[in-house]
Amino acid sequence: MYSPTKDPHWTKSFIILVVGILFVLMSFQMLIPTLLPYIKSLGASGLENGSNYSLFSILAALRHPLIYI
């Protein structure tokens, strides 16, 4: 009778990988609230500030799938 062996999914290396990805994603999300006042302090207008925020968010969304490759 065939009895497949079960490999554990939550290995030590997998947990370290998940925690590492969590910290990378959190660091980018924490950057967003500080980015807008910094750009404004450089003399950017409201349109430029909004454009930079939009561009940062779009590029972050495009970058997220690349982390898992």
Domain spans of the chain? 26-67
The residue that leads in pLDDT, 66 or 11, is 11
Using left for φ > 0, alpha for ψ between -120 and 50, and beta otherwise, residue 6 falls in beta
**pLDDT for position 19:** 92
Question: Distance (Å, rounded) from C-alpha 27 to C-alpha 21?
Answer: 10
Question: Once rounded to an integer, what is the mean pLDDT over residues 56-63?
Answer: 82
Q: For residue 25, what are the contacts with CB-CB under 8 A and spacing of at least 6?
A: 64, 67
Tens digits of residue pLDDT in 4-34: 677 778 899 989 988 998 888 788 778 888 8
Question: Distance (Å, rounded) from C-alpha 18 to C-alpha 28?
Answer: 16
Question: What is this structure's pTM?
Answer: 0.54
**pLDDT for position 67:** 65
Task: Band the pLDDT of 66: cuts 50, 70, 90.
Answer: confident
Q: What DSSP assignment string belongs to 7-42?
A: PPSS-HHHHHHHHHHHHHHHHHHHHHHHHHHHHHHT
